[in-house]
Amino acid sequence: MVCGHTDCGAMGALLHQEKLQELPAVKAWLQHAETTMRIMKNLYTHLQGDEFAAAIRENVLVQLDHLKTHPAVATGLRRGNLRLHGWVYSIGTGDVWVKDWENK
């Protein structure tokens, strides 16, 4: 399971990298989220105010895709004895968004 959460500082920093000039270690760490950033730039430029929530959800999906590349995970998925789950937990409400793989 990959579980993201609202108010994610990493995704906030990803969307506002100009604030990271004096935090080079954080900026370097965010290179792991390059795929999420590319998706945001390509698909979500039209959003006004909802890009933070979209980045959190997209990052969960990107991390799930990354997990699928690990040999043990790929084998488990292929054999059918492993399932991946993507969630986003809302800190404010306690609600959980669950990726619905069947209805995409």
Neighbours of 52 (CB within 10 A): 17
Q: Is 5 assigned to a binding site?
A: yes
Q: Which residue has the tokens 């789950």?
A: 85
- From the centroid of its chain, how far is CA 35? 9
Distances (CA, A) of 50 to 8, 39, 40, 55, 103: 14, 14, 11, 9, 22
Q: Is 3 assigned to a binding site?
A: no
* Annotation: binding site: 5, 8
* Annotation: binding site for Zn(2+): 5, 8
